[in-house]
Amino acid sequence: MKKTALHGEHIRLGAKMTEYAGFDMPVSYSSLKEEHHAVRKQAGVFDVSHMGEIVVLGKEATDFVDYIFTNNVRKMTAKQILYGFMCYEDGGVVDDFLVYKHNDQHYLLVVNAANTDKDFAWLQKQNTFDATVLNKTEEYSEIALQGPKAEEILQRYTETNLKDIRFFTFDEIVVNGEEFLVSRTGYTGEDGFEIYGDHEAVRALFTRLLEENDALLPCGLGCRDTLRFEVALPLYGHEISKDITPLEAGYGFAVDLDKEDFLGKDALVEQKSEGLKRRVVGLELIDKGIIREGYEVFAGEAKVGHVTSGYLAPSLGKAVAMALVEKPHTKKGAELSVKVRKRFVRAKVRNKQFYDKRQK
């Protein structure tokens, strides 16, 4: 199993570890709930070094990235970040990721750990442009500092005014005496930063942040999932996949069907004009219990979908889920039932934003 540069720190901090995307990663250090609430109310720091970093360089880098991405890369300015999808011809998703624009000839794609190799191979295959694709994953470590106190904490270690790094932008700045790429992004619905740098520099920063800030907790993959879930951020393989398009999942805001061309555009345009047959919706349980990923959803006797992610949401104290459901059972307020082991529980369709984002 692969280890990140922070692996030794996780062990030293007593983390519960698990295999994720080929890496030995922390699930939680103290308790999942405590870490979850720390990010909502104060701050938490995650090791996300397993994420993939793919660099695209060259004269036609903009044309190339715009061609493989559902969102509009041509409208990006330098130091801007854009979220979107890389789709197959049929509109299914290869991966969802962030594109960082350094300049017209230099982009950084930060992709899901489990998809890095697949994405890199796909990009190479699609590259008929005057551009070079490089997999730089092993050169970077990355941490995510998230929560309402993230800015205040990070500001102690840099001369750069962090207020100048606005939401979904980045800069290359000195923090703790070393150079990092710092972006105001995250996957939790809270304000915060993602910080990329050399392995040793990131390790030193991670350790120092935790040693000197009592309000900050180390956070594992467990609460990373509950946090993203509560604010309806999709997770590849759950809400989106090669079989679920971004439109079906409800992320049309990151799909620019008006731009000239991109991989998967024809299929998505067709899907939209014909009308979606199914959608990812929110479910709130009426009966007791918890509905989990994979559970089947019924309308009367008929199976009409499945749960893509489900939890007793820590910020709400309610059992809620996202589920891929066939129309017309996707209307808000519709009552469906979910098979939990041998019994059926009642659930109501609702919006999937279970918790309001508080990003700056």
Partner 1 sequence: MKFPKNLYYTETHEWVKVEKGYAYIGITDYAQDALGEIVFIELPEESDELSQGEEFAAIESVKAASDVMAPVSGVVVSVNEDLEDSPELLNEDPYENWIVKIELDDESELDSLMSAEEYENMSKE
Query: Strand 335-340 to strand 343-350: parallel, antiparallel, or no bridges (unpaired)?
Result: antiparallel
Interaction between residue 32 and partner 1 (CB under 8 A):
yes
DSSP type of residue 253? G
The only residue of 159, 214, 341, 356 in contact with partner 1, by rule CB under 8 A: 341
Q: How far is the CB of 92 from partner 1 (least distance, A)?
A: 27
- Exactly one of 3, 31, 257, 350 binds partner 1 (CB under 8 A); that residue is 31
For the residues of 58-83, what is the DSSP string, one character each?
STTHHHHHHHH-SS-STTPPTTBEEE
If one asks whether residue 229 binds partner 1 (CB under 8 A), the answer comes out as no
Q: How far apart are CA 168 and CA 173, in angstroms?
A: 16
The nearest distance, CB 220 to partner 1, in angstroms, is 10
Residue closer to partner 1 (CB basis): 27 or 165: 27
**Nearest-angstrom CA–CA distance, 185 and 33:** 22
Query: How many CB atoms sit inside 10 A of residue 104's CB?
Result: 16
CB 106 within 8 A of CB 124: no
Please state, as a whole number, how many other Cβ atoms lie within 10 Å of the Cβ of residue 136.
13
Q: From the list 311, 329, 336, 349, which residue makes contact with partner 1 (rule: CB under 8 A)? A: 311
Piece in contact with partner 1 (CB under 8 A), picked from 31-39, 70-78, 143-151, 249-257 = 31-39
- Of 30 and 127, the one with the shorter C-beta distance to partner 1 is 30
Nearest approach in angstroms of CB 233 to partner 1 is 18
254: how many CB neighbours lie within 10 A of its CB? 16
- 125 vs 341, beta carbon nearer partner 1: 341
- Contact residue for partner 1 among 52, 91, 246, 314 (CB under 8 A): 314
Separation between Cα atoms, residue 213 and residue 256, nearest integer Å: 42
Interface residue with partner 1, options 91, 222, 246, 282 (CB under 8 A): 222
Q: Distance from CA of residue 347 to its chain's centroid?
A: 26
Q: Which stretch binds partner 1 (CB under 8 A): 52-60, 180-188, 257-265, 308-316?
A: 308-316
Determine if 33 is a binding residue for partner 1 (CB under 8 A). Answer: yes
The distance of closest approach from Cβ of residue 32 to partner 1 in the complex, given in angstroms and rounded to an integer, is 5
226 near partner 1, judged by CB under 8 A:
yes
- Interface residue with partner 1, options 192, 234, 289, 305 (CB under 8 A): 289
Selected from 4, 28, 146, 169, the binder of partner 1 by CB under 8 A is 28
Phi-psi region for residue 154, left (φ > 0), alpha (ψ -120 to 50) or beta?
alpha
Residue 188 contacts partner 1 per CB under 8 A: no
Count of residues of this chain found to bind partner 1 when the rule CB under 8 A is applied: 19
Angstrom distance (rounded) from CA 111 to CA 140: 13
Q: How far is the CB of 36 from partner 1 (least distance, A)?
A: 8
Min separation Cβ 188 and partner 1, Å? 15
Alpha-carbon separation of residue 77 from 35, 168, 170, 254 (angstroms): 35, 11, 11, 17
Going from the C-alpha of 338 to that of each of 44, 61, 301, the distances in angstroms are 34, 46, 11
Who's near 7: CB < 8 A, 6+ residues apart?
24
The footprint of partner 1 (CB under 8 A) covers 16, 27-28, 31-33, 36, 222, 226, 288-290, 292, 311-312, 314, 319, 340-341
